Structures are given as structure tokens and as C-alpha cells.
Amino acid sequence: MNPAPAAISVHAQDLVRGFGAVQAVRGVSFDIERGEIFGLVGPDGAGKTTIMRMLAGVLRPDAGRISLENIDVIAAPERAKAALSYMPQRFGLYEDLSVAENIFFYGELFGVSRKANRIRSGELLEAAGLVPFRDRLAGQLSGGMKQKLGLVCALIHTPRVLLLDEPTTGVDPVSRRDFWAILYSLRESGVTIVLSTAYMDEAERCSRLALLHTGQIRQCDTPARLKQAMPGALFAIAAADPRAVHGALGDAPGVLSALLMGDRVHVRVDDAARRLPELQARLAGRAVAHATITAIEPGIEDVFVALVGSGSPT
């Protein structure tokens, strides 16, 4: 017996959007299943925020179709907004209101009854770890707490689709971990989450990723399958001077890319067995001291550079 087909929560078809002479989004299409965490990854200017705003119904595409929970977002944006919540990069918290007052305000804005608002806000404050801060002014919260409060406000009306535009940029690691714990809980309850991110460890946590470059999706798949599809083999080279490694190997035969990654260089080659001794000999010939070469599995940033050809997802 074949499993039942997954329900499509978000459908985008041939989306196009320009700003003057700039084509920000060029023919983007994807389907997102209910309960997925779908990530948009790409450099600045790749079209991530424009896509988010079109999905949210706040920006009309020049061409294409969008449906969200079987609602035509372009034809009925107000109806679609009842089923979604959009948290832009700078969420509009009122800093002179307390945590509880902000949540109450957004509940009123979304038409949530006062009784439901009180019950729902209590559940969300508990999940976000904000109960001890419910009477604190939003302007006095840390960056991580502000983002969690923004998420609580975005969830007060129990949306079926959550759109998050780089929600953890500038947030400390502990708050990022807490934020993702909430997202996993939402996914388990069937909420569809679409997010853009500049953090590659966050990209790894998504169900699927769309790798965006110059307004187009270059690849779209699970993180595991994207890694498997990366052409060539990858070495991590550690040395006292990683820039010297990068300079020595950037134009070496068989080297497809060389990417500085902190104190290491990730070098992608066309043939691991053939190129390893060549790399070792070239480093020795350039007097690069104490270089250690290790074969590694690629990360999403390595995959992005390999599949797009240049640049970085951040």
C-alpha cells in the first residue's frame, strides 16, 4: 500500500519581481509540504526577502502564482494573512510596552479573543522562557529575547504557515538554540515554516533548502542530498598560516575551489586520490609549514560554493 501523498502547504510558481532595472526574483518555483522547515539560503541580493514578502502578500509579484493553504495569496491577500504569520528581519515590537502588553496588542490586531489571548500567551511565554520577563519593557530586553518575543507575537493567532526572514541574525548562540527548539515544536504540531538564514548550521537543520543566487533557485533538496550531489572531493587543510595555504593552492591543477574557513582552508578537487600527493608536494614547494590535510564531508557552505560557482551564502 502506497503512503498518502503529502499535503502541499505553500505553492509558488514562476515568480518574477523586479525593482526598476533590477530583476530581484526570476522564475522561482517550489512546493512546500505541510510541517516542513523550508530554508532559503543565498548571499545578499539573492532574492530571499523579496520572496518572503511575496509569500506574505505584502508585495505583489510581477508574474507568477502563489497559494498558501489552498488560498490564492495574490487574489485574496487578506484571507491568506489569517493563515500565516510573517516575521521580517526587524519585527515591529513596541519598546515602550511590556512583554505582556506587546503580546496582548498583537492578539487584538489578529482578532484573537481576550480569553484565547490569555491562554495562548501563557503557553507561548512558557515555551519561550519569557514568563519571568512578562512585565519588562520590550526595549529593555536583550536581542535574543526580543526575537523570541517577536516569535511569540507572530504565533498568537495560531498560524498554519510561519514566514521568518533571517530571524536569528545577531542573536547569541543560547537564544538561537532556544529559538530553534520552539521551531521544532511548531513543526511537530504541523506548522509549515519558511525561513531565510545566513547561518549554515541553521541551514543544516532545515527539512529542505533552496539555494538562491541572482534571483533564481540553483538547487533545491534536503541538506543530505545536496551534499551528496556536490561534485568533486573535499579536503580540510590546517596550517599556522591558512592564507598561505589558500594562496598556494587557489590556482593548483585539479583544484575546483579553495575557501578560507577560520583557521582552515576547504579545498575541493576533481579527484581525491590523484590530487592529494600533488597538494602535499605543492605546499612543501611553497614552504607552507605544518600543513595537515584531511578528507572531510562537505558542509552546506561548501555545497553552495560548488554548485553556484562563486561567492558565499552569507
The ranges assigned to domains in the chain are: 8-222, 231-297
8 A C-beta contact, residue 142 and residue 95: no
CATH for the 231-297 domain, from 3.30.56.10, 3.30.70.100, 3.40.50.460, 3.30.365.10:
3.30.70.100
pTM score of the predicted model: 0.87
250: cell is: 587557489
- Predicted pLDDT of residue 24: 96
Residue by residue, DSSP assigns 5-22 as PPPEEEEEEEEEEEETTE
Write the pLDDT tens digit of every residue in 239-259: 999 999 999 998 899 999 998
DSSP-based three-state secondary structure for 179: helix
3-class SS of residue 84: strand
For residue 158, give the C-alpha cell: 495560531
Instruction: Tell me the residue ranges of DSSP E strands in the chain.
Output: 8-19, 22-33, 37-41, 63-68, 71-72, 84-87, 161-165, 192-196, 208-213, 216-221, 233-238, 255-261, 264-269, 292-295
- Class of residue 281 by CB neighbours under 10 A (exposed 0-12, middle 13-18, buried 19+): exposed
In tens, the pLDDT along 258-291 reads 989 888 999 999 999 999 999 999 999 988 888 8
Q: How far apart are CA 156 and CA 104, in angstroms?
A: 9
Determine the Cα–Cα distance for residues 294 and 302; give it in Å rounded to an integer.
15
Band of residue 1 on the pLDDT scale cut at 50, 70, 90: very low
End-to-end alpha-carbon separation of the chain, Å? 44
DSSP state of 94: -
At 314, the pLDDT band (50, 70, 90 cuts) reads very low
Per CATH, is 8-222 categorized as 3.20.20.60? no
- Give mean pLDDT, residues 131-156: 91
Query: Average model confidence (pLDDT) for the chain?
Result: 90
> How remote is the C-alpha of 305 from its chain's centroid?
16
Residue whose entry in the numeric block shows the C-alpha cell 504541523: 190
Q: Is the pLDDT of residue 127 over 50?
A: yes
- What pLDDT does 4 receive? 46
The more confident residue out of 80 and 6 is 80
User: What is the rounded CA–CA span in Å between residue 35 and residue 221?
Assistant: 16
